[in-house]
Chain A
Amino acid sequence: MRTFNFSRLLNSVREAGLDGYMMVIGIIIISVVLIMAVFAEFIAPYDPIKTVGMPVTPPSPEFPWGTDTIGRDVFSRVVYGSRTIMIVILMSTALSMAVGIPLGLLSGYVGGLLDRTLSLIMDSIYAFPGLILAIAVAAMLGPGIYNTSISLAVVYIPTYFRMVRGQVLSLREQLFVEAARALGATDLRILRKYIFPNVFFIIAVVFSLNVADAILTEAGLSFLGLSVSAPTPDWGFDLKNGQRYFLSGKWWPVVFPGIMIILLALGFGLLGEGLNKILGQKEVR
């Protein structure tokens, strides 16, 4: 097991064609941002919340990505900002999953009035514009990492709910569940042994695509000033701060955090897309 067969992995990626490459590029982007987030202390040359130079200094050897409107190092803020967004995304996704998945399983499996009520509620939330719902919750909860995570979580609960419920419904019809039931398996065992593993793959895909969306929503919230509070480095908020100098040609406080938002969202989008096709094809085979 120790000799990891790299060429075989490369081969299977190549075989998957465009989807394989998309997945790999996605994973690379996500890994880079994760490394930035985990090792921010070692990567960032400056303290992200300290003024270390003149305001809006263009990129130079001293400040590779320039300084922001109050003289903080843009590169260091971007590096630490990856930590902020990653924490928020992880917490909010965990929360939406923790609520959405069990409810979806329950709703799909039990059916009846409970299912209809829950579905109606979830569909209504789903139909509501996500960012605006997050804005409402964030406005009431106030700024901060935890509150932002909750605001985002509320938006994405229905996605996980709907996906899991749909899967359970279709799998429920399938024969093997019937067979297991006939053999006297308890309901809980059916859920755990047969339904959940099948749902798992779909969750991986929906997770990636959902996170891509959540990143844009988080960045949007913080661009509107409704995410974490002031000195914390946060891509969307930093971009907003740089906006008033942008049109006079001082692009660096805006472009660097902006590109990072796009890249990270793209990373998860590519990963999800690739996974979807590759896993989907496996199913057919």
Chain B
Amino acid sequence: MSLRAYIIARILMTIPMILILLTLVFLVMRVLPGNPVIAIVGMKASPEYIKKLEHQLGLDKPLWQQYIDYLADLLRGDLGKSMIWGKRPVIQEIMDHFPATLELTIGGFLVSVLLGLATGMVAGIRSGGKLDASMRIYSIVVYSLFIPLLGMMLQLVFGVWLHLLPVGGRIDPGLEPPTITGLYVLDSILSLKMDSLANSLAHLALPSFTLGLVLSGIYTRLVRSSLIEVLGQDFIRACKARGLLGRSILFKHALKNALIPILTMMGLQFALLLAGAVLTETTFSWPGMGTFLVERITYRDFTTIQGSIVFYALFVALVSLVVDLVYAYIDPRIRY
């Protein structure tokens, strides 16, 4: 199969996944026992008001009609309008908050990959030994660390005691770089504002570390087992027989081969990052999708909740698609 055929097939495969996720969201939002409107306004609202809201949201139509409308709206890129505060289009609200989440997620991802690579490589090279056992315990313990508690501890130590890093927020007011991508770090670099860059990195440090540390344990395991498998393969022995440097065997040959199976699992890792980001954001008052979603849940902003979940679903599908395409690009064996 050529690379192009593979890409097309893979994109087509994403469609059922998206459809299932969208249907799932619809089921959760509309069919679950309980009337969303009552969930919104509470039991005590007057029947007329409930009727009015139901009509406004299209909830008085038959279910299949609602489903069609829902998909049709989505196809047009319409996620509806917020039910509170100026009733802005949900998609705009999301776009205000999503870059913050993306920035945090990337930060957490980098931290978890770096920590996971380091610990996993140590464990893999020293497999069976004391260091290996320690790394195994590291991976279990770290995964159990409850993000809010870990985050608060770090705030206390690095923010309050040591005064090294800010304890919350994305950037100090007034230092925001001009919006280009919405990622403050990137925008600061693009607009050459060094004080913004330093400030946003300082704000990013603790949340990224919290998120990354907790998820690094997964990479520890993945890297370890994958590396052990590769190190046992014939071509590594062949590399040694060719007199290559141990270092270059490890990094150029073993590690590269070990990372390929890990790459295929990145999509699922990313879902974990997004979930962890919700708790991290809430702990660090990080103005991203997570804090936004939780806030709107307390205000019972039904359309925004639905829109955000839909957005998450689409984003997850997109990431898994991209991961697979990158995999196809990197692994020469898959193309033919």
Direct A–B contact present (CB less than 8 angstroms): yes
Which A residues form the contact surface with B (CB < 8 A)?
Answer: 18, 22, 120-121, 123-133, 135-137, 139-142, 212, 216, 219-220, 223-226, 236, 239-240, 243, 246-247, 249, 251, 254-255, 258-259, 261-263, 265-266, 269-270, 273
Interface SS of chain A: helix
One of B63-71, B85-93, B137-145, B224-232 contacting the partner: B137-145
Known: A18-B136, A131-B279, A135-B294. A140 touches B149 (CB 8 A): no
Task: Among B28, B149, B271, point to the contact of A255 (Cβ < 8 A).
Answer: B149
Query: What are 8 A-to-B residue pairs whose CB atoms are below 8 Å?
Result: A18-B136, A129-B316, A130-B271, A136-B25, A216-B146, A223-B148, A236-B146, A270-B140
Contact yes or no, A246 B152, CB < 8 A: yes
A216–B34 Cα distance when bound, in Å, is: 27
A212–B149 Cα distance when bound, in Å, is: 16
A135–B36 Cα distance when bound, in Å, is: 15
Contact yes or no, A273 B140, CB < 8 A: yes
Known: A129-B274, A255-B149. A225 touches B298 (CB 8 A): yes
Q: How many A-B residue pairs have CB under 8 A?
A: 143
Contact yes or no, B136 A142, CB < 8 A: no
Min Cβ gap B239→A in Å is 29
Contact yes or no, A247 B21, CB < 8 A: no
Most buried by A among B25, B143, B298, B320: B143
Chain B residues within 8 Å of A123, by CB: 17
Given contacts A18-B133, A243-B152, 19 further A-B contacts (CB under 8 A): A22-B140, A127-B268, A128-B316, A130-B272, A130-B275, A137-B28, A137-B32, A142-B39, A219-B146, A220-B278, A223-B282, A224-B278, A239-B148, A243-B283, A254-B149, A258-B149, A265-B146, A269-B143, A270-B140
Chain B residues within 8 Å of A259, by CB: 149
Contact yes or no, A135 B293, CB < 8 A: yes
Chain A residues within 8 Å of B328, by CB: none
Which B residues form the contact surface with A (CB < 8 A)?
Answer: 16-17, 20-21, 24-25, 28-29, 32-34, 36, 39, 133, 136-137, 140-141, 143-149, 152, 155-156, 159-160, 167, 267-268, 271-272, 274-276, 278-279, 282-283, 293-294, 297-298, 305, 309, 312-313, 316-317, 320
Chain B residues within 8 Å of A226, by CB: 294, 297
Known: A129-B275, A132-B309, A135-B294. A265 touches B267 (CB 8 A): no
Min Cβ gap A265→B in Å is 4
Determine the residue in chain A with the shortest Cβ distance to B271: A129
A127–B294 Cα distance when bound, in Å, is: 21
A247–B21 Cα distance when bound, in Å, is: 40
Known: A255-B149, A269-B140. A140 touches B21 (CB 8 A): no
Leading 9 A-B pairs by shortest Cβ distance:
A258-B149, A129-B275, A131-B275, A265-B144, A266-B144, A124-B20, A129-B271, A129-B274, A261-B146
Min Cβ gap A127→B in Å is 6
Contact yes or no, A223 B279, CB < 8 A: yes
Determine the residue in chain B with the shortest Cβ distance to A216: B146
Chain A residues within 8 Å of B25, by CB: 136
Min Cβ gap A242→B in Å is 9
Chain B residues within 8 Å of A266, by CB: 140-141, 144
Determine the residue in chain A with the shortest Cβ distance to B306: A136
Task: Among B29, B144, B160, point to the contact of A136 (Cβ < 8 A).
Answer: B29
Contact yes or no, B24 A124, CB < 8 A: yes
Task: Among B36, B283, B312, point to the contact of A132 (Cβ < 8 A).
Answer: B312
Chain A residues within 8 Å of B276, by CB: 131
Known: A121-B20, A124-B24. A132 touches B278 (CB 8 A): yes
Contact yes or no, A128 B140, CB < 8 A: no
Contact yes or no, B24 A125, CB < 8 A: yes
A89–B317 Cα distance when bound, in Å, is: 29
Task: Among B21, B34, B278, point to the contact of A135 (Cβ < 8 A).
Answer: B278
Most buried by A among B16, B140, B141: B140
Determine the residue in chain B with the shortest Cβ distance to A137: B28
Chain A residues within 8 Å of B21, by CB: 124, 127-128
Contact yes or no, A127 B155, CB < 8 A: no
Chain B residues within 8 Å of A132, by CB: 274-275, 278, 293, 309, 312
Min Cβ gap B222→A in Å is 15
Chain B residues within 8 Å of A255, by CB: 149
Task: Among B34, B133, B148, B155, point to the contact of A142 (Cβ < 8 A).
Answer: B34
Determine the residue in chain A with the shortest Cβ distance to B130: A18
Contact yes or no, A127 B316, CB < 8 A: yes
